[in-house]
Structure 1
């Protein structure tokens, strides 16, 4: 069957809460790891908390699941141009601030963002968010996830261009998984770079959960989500950094953590999370993206300047307050105003393109214009 675009629905505040929790996991992972020292031997420096935040990088898994859900929801019924405008307005204003704050934070402590590059040469590609594609290192570690997200946006744009329906979504999801696995089996790096098999299960599962949420559960969608869960658990266990290695513990906790994130999204998909709907979650959700972008810069500066003057717990508290305060200021003073200013201008440019494109195509393909060009 062909599915009509879903009707507008109230904001899913439970997703705002989950996005905020995911950001907190990442923030604590970085802050405690830096302050206490990375790795199991340093857990005693901040007892209990360090053992938990050791696995805070699982916040990224939850982010990617939510992204699959939300991006499909926001893309439904839109054209490629409208989707591109909405994503550009959403991700770039705060990102530009984050990159600029990053280079300033390095200068504040007398370091350069990328040792092998002139700071300006590193800064400018990072401002485009395309630095990974041209081989320039990220100025902040967390930016690698944005490059993965851009892959997803490009792929979903193809689906939008084709026209989103229920059947096409399912075909797209299954095809993405299978083609990624086949490319990996054949060691065909161009296709694996596009389809990113280790992270595809999260986005595909998020899309499946949205379809369950919007159109109701069925065995096919649950099987797709279950297959994605199995693949995600396998891939995630192989991504441990040497400094995070924890023999006989890492595999079990990671498997449990990935499983828990999938269960959370299954609860959202089946409307069982809707009781958790507080207006404040929307505010927390608005802080999530700027907090994610700026927390490493803030934490680095405070750690370098204050670590010899403050205890670990005090430094952690001050770092959290500073990061949340900065995120709030970025959101209110920069992100919101820039979004209001940029969005209508991009839409105007898109509208101009839509007006002129048909005439350009007609002129290009007209037999008369071809003859005149030959003459």
Structure 2
């Protein structure tokens, strides 16, 4: 597989999305949080803007559709699964254990056996068990997408199969919602799938060029995202303006369109790669650190200084997790997971070899003594 060019503009956007979520929790959240009072009441002016920070998750999901398709291209489901486990689990395990320690100190939660151990699997969403940290809910949504992407990788990822997959996922999600079918709604994520589909379409535009069909996918996904974004604003998030929600979602699609068409390629500062590396651990640890930090420094420090302490400490912790956990942990885990796939590859090679012998004898020639017909699939770039 040829090395992929790093899109540092996506690193920047990922960091912006994570920072938006951090500021939402610390300055724009309406409910009980780490502050003595709701954070939106602590920062009433700033909160008028950061109350929309939860839409950083929406940006995450569009970026995920782009990046996951790019990551899965040319890989089978096994290699794709290894890449996801290596990327997600080391920092996640640290976050769960950090949460366990904080819960123990502050006498929160229902103990290690009932809460922390199931959370270590990242499957607690399917077990109907509360997350150690509320932010983990997005990881369960992401896992739904990864399963579908692995199925696509098993079928074979080409331009054509992606178009079929995106259309099938979009319409099946609509049918599931229309029928109010619980199982299909859980599997197909009709309230979120538009973001992932849009991200996939943006990647296809980036890799193969603009076509009316691909922009049609983006347009339909955008309209669906607006519908569900307004619905979430009315039902899950309080005191957000519909026009504001639509404006942010429109901005998300606009900036991703710039990425897809190469308009942001000038963003090549290497420091953006560091910001991209901080994104995932920052997202995981910030809300857990906020409670003990604010308990220690506020009101001894004024609210702005305390906010700076929390954000700064979260960034430093995120870097430490990346440097001392993610990088060595990923290397260790990648080697062993790939070794675990080797028996599967050997079995596949043996099956293929036996099949060739059955069709054409022990040699490499066909039944008529001619070279066997080349059945290599047409390269995806020609589709």
Partner of 1:366: none
> Does 2:255 correspond to 1:260?
no
Deviation at 1:354, TM superposition (A): 2.1
* 2:286 aligns with one of 285, 292, 295: 295
User: Would the alpha carbon gap of residues 241 and 125 (structure 1) be closer, same or farther in structure 2, given more than 3 Å must change?
Assistant: farther
Judge conservation of contact 1:132–1:147 (CA < 8 Å) in 2.
yes
Deviation at 1:164, TM superposition (A): 0.7
Partner of 1:323: 314
Partner of 1:26: 21
User: Would the alpha carbon gap of residues 149 and 278 (structure 1) be closer, same or farther in structure 2, given more than 3 Å must change?
Assistant: same
Structure 1 portions without partners, runs of 5+ = 364-375
> Does 2:140 correspond to 1:154?
no
Deviation at 1:303, TM superposition (A): 2.1
Equivalence map 1:117-128=2 (5 Å): 117-128=110-121
Give the distance between the partners of 1:189 and 1:205, measured in 2 at CA: 24
Judge conservation of contact 2:25–2:39 (CA < 8 Å) in 1.
no
Judge conservation of contact 1:105–1:297 (CA < 8 Å) in 2.
yes
Partner of 2:301: 310
> Does 2:168 correspond to 1:171?
no
Judge conservation of contact 1:26–1:56 (CA < 8 Å) in 2.
yes
Equivalence map 1:50-199=2 (5 Å): 50-108=47-105, 110-113=106-109, 117-199=110-192
Structure 2 portions without partners, runs of 5+ = 355-383
Deviation at 1:265, TM superposition (A): 0.3
Deviation at 1:37, TM superposition (A): 4.2
TM-score normalized with structure 2 length: 0.87
Judge conservation of contact 1:79–1:161 (CA < 8 Å) in 2.
yes
Partner of 1:17: 12
Kindly indicate whether structure 1 or structure 2 has the higher relative contact order, using CA contacts under 8 Å at least 6 residues apart.
1
User: Would the alpha carbon gap of residues 328 and 39 (structure 1) be closer, same or farther in structure 2, given more than 3 Å must change?
Assistant: closer
Give the distance between the partners of 2:125 and 2:76, measured in 1 at CA: 27
Give the distance between the partners of 2:242 and 2:237, measured in 1 at CA: 11
Give the distance between the partners of 1:133 and 1:286, measured in 2 at CA: 28
User: Would the alpha carbon gap of residues 121 and 20 (structure 1) be closer, same or farther in structure 2, given more than 3 Å must change?
Assistant: same
Q: Once the two structures are superposed, what CA deviation does each residue of 1:36-59 show, in whole Å capped at 9, x if it has no partner?
A: 84486x2xx324322111110010
Judge conservation of contact 1:208–1:225 (CA < 8 Å) in 2.
yes
CA RMSD of superposed structures (Å)? 2.1
Secondary structure of the corresponding residue to residue 56 of structure 2: helix
Partner of 2:359: none
Q: Once the two structures are superposed, what CA deviation does each residue of 1:278-311 show, in whole Å capped at 9, x if it has no partner?
A: 1000011001101111111111211233323221
Q: Once the two structures are superposed, what CA deviation does each residue of 1:96-154 show, in whole Å capped at 9, x if it has no partner?
A: 0011011111222x2223xxx33321001100000010110111111000000000000
Secondary structure of the corresponding residue to residue 119 of structure 2: helix
Give the distance between the partners of 2:201 and 2:250, measured in 1 at CA: 16
Give the distance between the partners of 2:81 and 2:44, measured in 1 at CA: 46
